Amino acid sequence: MYRILLAIDDYNELLFLETLLKRLGLDVEGLQSQKKLEAVRLGFNPQMIIASALGKKINGLEIANKIKKRNGLPKMILLRSPAHNIPEEMFGIESIDEVLDSPVSAQKLIGVLAVHGGQNPDTLIEKYSRFKNQKNLEAETDSQANAVASGSVFADDAEGDPLASGAEGSGTSRGDSDRIYVRGGGEIVDDNVTVGSAKESRKEDDSIYVQGTFASDGESSSDYVGGGQSNSPDKIHIRGESKNSTSTAVSGQGDGPHAPVSVLSGEQRRERFTQYLKDKAPIDSSEHFDRKAIIAFNKKIRSEKIEDKNGEFEKSRQDFVKALFKKN
């Protein structure tokens, strides 16, 4: 495995390059202090060194002056920061193989590895593409998770595009497949809601107001969905039902008997624990060791004198060594 030592002053760039090179299947060591360079280099034996040309803690030009190569290794790559006005003649040191502008792009780094590291560029590009796609997927997943955590209400339309916050639209009945989801609670509010015109507006208690039409009787009604900083964080209530419908409550993460501890207040936690102790059966002491008996047994063991056989072992060892060197 190709070994690369990173000696970079900027922590963010060091972390980026270290992560990228490891994802490309290379063996990487990173440091931010020139004092540790020689010790790490002797143990790691890198085939390439990528260092900051002129940093606060690392001076790549000084490293390039002192380094002694064997069979052209290690390759020396310096990163030039635009903040430092370094004359071009200072990079004329024979041991410097390449000078790159910092921050380094992934494409330039792959090119350097192909030219100076003897790596297959096609393989590196393929690995980088997989890494980039995975990174984009993680970013998309994080954004979706943040949207779910925000507690927004979305209508799941036929194309899969949710109604954005504050959007207005007019639509027709789409049958029983229309559903309104509560983001955060993750439960379906009503399967029989037909979206007529949707409009969201934030109230003072961070609730969401959705205008819709019930498919059961075709009468227009207002659905008030409580969420956010409402007075009942454990439930989401829908008001303004039609004549034939009854009020609906969607259970969430409230203070019920099975609610997670993380959403309970300190008083609720104490009450739950007290109730748990009351409901728990008393411990049967007959199935356990008596505490006083254990203490007495420990005292008895510690009071007994243990014979010291170290002297005997030492004499036996000395006799064995003498027998080895004894002349017949």
Torsion angles phi and psi, residue 117, rounded to 5: -100, -5
pLDDT reading at 172 higher than 70: no
Asked if residue 280 belongs to a domain, the reply is no
Same domain, 205 and 98: no
Residue 26 parent element (H or E): none
Asked if residue 279 belongs to a domain, the reply is no
Asked if residue 270 belongs to a domain, the reply is no
Same domain, 51 and 124: yes
Question: Rounded mean pLDDT of 172-189?
Answer: 44
Same domain, 8 and 111: yes
Separation between Cα atoms, residue 194 and residue 219, nearest integer Å: 11
pLDDT band at 192 (very low <50, low <70, confident <90, very high): very low
Same domain, 170 and 216: yes
Bigger pLDDT: 156 vs 306: 306
Same domain, 94 and 198: no
- Residue-wise pLDDT tens digits, 5-30: 999 988 888 998 898 888 888 899 98
Same domain, 185 and 295: no
Q: Which residues pair with 248 in a beta bridge?
A: 238
Same domain, 120 and 163: no
Separation between Cα atoms, residue 50 and residue 78, nearest integer Å: 6
Residue 223, both tokens = 């659905």
Domain count for the chain, please give it: 3
Same domain, 240 and 299: no
Separation between Cα atoms, residue 119 and residue 24, nearest integer Å: 11
Residue 84, both tokens = 């430092």
> Residue 182's CB: how many other CB atoms inside 10 A?
20
pLDDT at 50: 92
- CA 8 vs CA 54, 232, 264: distances in Å: 10, 53, 47
Same domain, 7 and 43: yes
pLDDT reading at 255 higher than 60: no
Tell me the whole-structure pTM to 2 decimals.
0.42
pLDDT reading at 183 higher than 60: no
Asked if residue 231 belongs to a domain, the reply is yes
Same domain, 27 and 124: yes
Asked if residue 30 belongs to a domain, the reply is yes
Q: In this structure, what CATH number is given to the domain that contains residue 49? A: 3.40.50.2300
Separation between Cα atoms, residue 261 and residue 259, nearest integer Å: 6
What 185-189 contacts at long range (C-beta under 8 Å, 24+ apart), as own/partner pairs, is 185/236, 185/250, 185/252, 185/253, 186/148, 187/250, 187/251, 187/252, 189/223, 189/225, 189/236, 189/238, 189/248, 189/250
Asked if residue 188 belongs to a domain, the reply is yes
Same domain, 168 and 87: no
Domain, as residue range, for 90: 3-130
Angle between helices 11-23 and 106-116 (to 10 degrees): 60
- Residue-wise pLDDT tens digits, 207-218: 444 444 444 444
The winner for highest mean pLDDT among 64-73, 212-221, 255-264 is 64-73
Q: Rounded mean pLDDT of the chain?
A: 70
pLDDT reading at 78 higher than 70: yes
Asked if residue 139 belongs to a domain, the reply is no
pLDDT reading at 310 higher than 70: yes
Question: Rounded mean pLDDT of 255-264?
Answer: 73
The winner for highest mean pLDDT among 124-128, 207-211, 319-323 is 319-323
The 3-state secondary structure of 126-189 reads: HHHHHHHHHHHHHHHHHHHHHHHHCCCEEECCCCCCCCCCCCCEECCCCHHHCCEEECCCCCEC
pLDDT band at 180 (very low <50, low <70, confident <90, very high): very low
| Pick from 238, 230, 233, 187: nearest CA to 214 | 238
Asked if residue 267 belongs to a domain, the reply is no
Least confident piece of the model among 151-155, 173-177, 259-263, 298-302: 173-177
pLDDT reading at 228 higher than 60: no
Same domain, 173 and 120: no
